Amino acid sequence: MEKRRLRLRTWHVLLMVLAVMVGMWIGLRLHLKAQLRREVAAIKVAGWPVTMEEVNRSYTIPEGVQNAADVYMAALASMVDGSTDLPVVGQANLPGPHEHLDPNMAKAVAGYLAENKECLDLLHKAIEVEHCRYPFNLGADLQPFWDYLREAR
């Protein structure tokens, strides 16, 4: 009986190259996944939160202490909108580094600051408060964002 000789064809080579590339890609994915698990485990061992629920639970302030977020929100609620002729809060440009502020603009800025005295006082008060947490649920309030990221994956 005559032996058949196996001939290596171009499609055999291409198939082997493809199989090697797919194997390398799978190996890389498995390696990166294992590395990520090790890093997350190290973060957890160090005592840091690793899930959104854990982050949300850690994002608290002690009972009975003042919350600076309430003061900041009150300050921003009391803020009076300024003229559009003001720099920063309006459309006007600031003078150059070595130029003086126009006297009319200086009056407008002083008036804006006087109108917002309550806001500024509350901001100064808020700076003195040690704890600050805004009413925000890091799990539920960010759910649409997480869903978007999951789809983008």
> Encoding tokens for residue 1?
């009986």
Q: How far apart are CA 73 and CA 58, in angstroms?
A: 22
Instruction: At 70, list the tokens.
Output: 């309430």
Asked if residue 41 and residue 71 are part of one domain, the reply reads: no
Q: Is the CA virtual torsion 12, 14, 16, 22 positive or negative?
A: negative
- Total domains present in the chain: 2
The verdict on 44 and 77 lying in the same domain is no
- pLDDT tens-digit profile of 72-104? 999 999 998 877 788 888 888 888 899 998 898
Q: What pLDDT is attached to residue 3?
A: 66
Residue 54 maps to a domain: no
Helices (H), the chain: 10-45, 52-58, 68-77, 103-115, 117-128, 143-152
Q: Residue 8: its pLDDT value, please?
A: 74
Residue that wins the pLDDT comparison between 72 and 53: 72
Task: Work out the percent of the chain whose per-residue pLDDT is above 70.
Answer: 95
Query: Tell me, what's the pLDDT at 153?
Result: 59
pLDDT digits (tens, 9 = 90+) for 14-41: 999 999 999 999 999 999 999 999 999 9
Measured between alpha carbons, how far is 127 from 114 in angstroms, rounded to an integer?
Answer: 20
Has residue 73 been placed in a domain?
yes
Q: In this structure, are 76 and 143 located in the same domain?
A: yes
Structural domain of 128: 63-152
Let me know whether 37 and 77 are in one domain: no
